[in-house]
Amino acid sequence: MTLHALAMESPLGNLQLVSEADYLIEVNWEGGHKVLSSTTRSQPAILTTAADELSQFFRGQRYEFSVPIKPKGTAFQLSVWRALQAIAWGVTCSYQDIAERLRKPTGSRAVGGAVGRNPIPVIIPCHRIVGASGALTGFSGGLQNKKILLGWEGHPL
């Protein structure tokens, strides 16, 4: 399987978009988790679409994403990431809320682990997850970026 990558500038710093076949599989933060050092020279349309949609989101012109994604994870992680995608723009939920949606009422820590391993942040909106008290909790892009994202979405911080 050939991976393709595209670097893009954003208000949150440089991002690396990674695709496999016709799906976006990762959004990597500069200085964060994996960053590909070598990819093919061709740029598939999926990466251009993903970059365009993210740019629109950062300009406040997009509230939902339509780019095809295919995150890689366990069955449980995939279920958590699907639940995150159901959280509307401008709304926050707690880890416990997601655990209860998944009918795992004692699973908030497991949900937290899955949220922390989200390979496609922003598009899979893990920034919309807060602690049970409403406090901001960890974010792969850093708490400052989480504050920025939630602020754009009108969340009272």
Catalytic machinery residues:
126
5 with 97: CB under 8 angstroms? Answer: no
Structure tokens at 137: 């909790």
Residues 55, 62: Cα–Cα separation, whole Å: 9
Closest by CA to 102, choosing from 75, 83, 84, 124, is 83
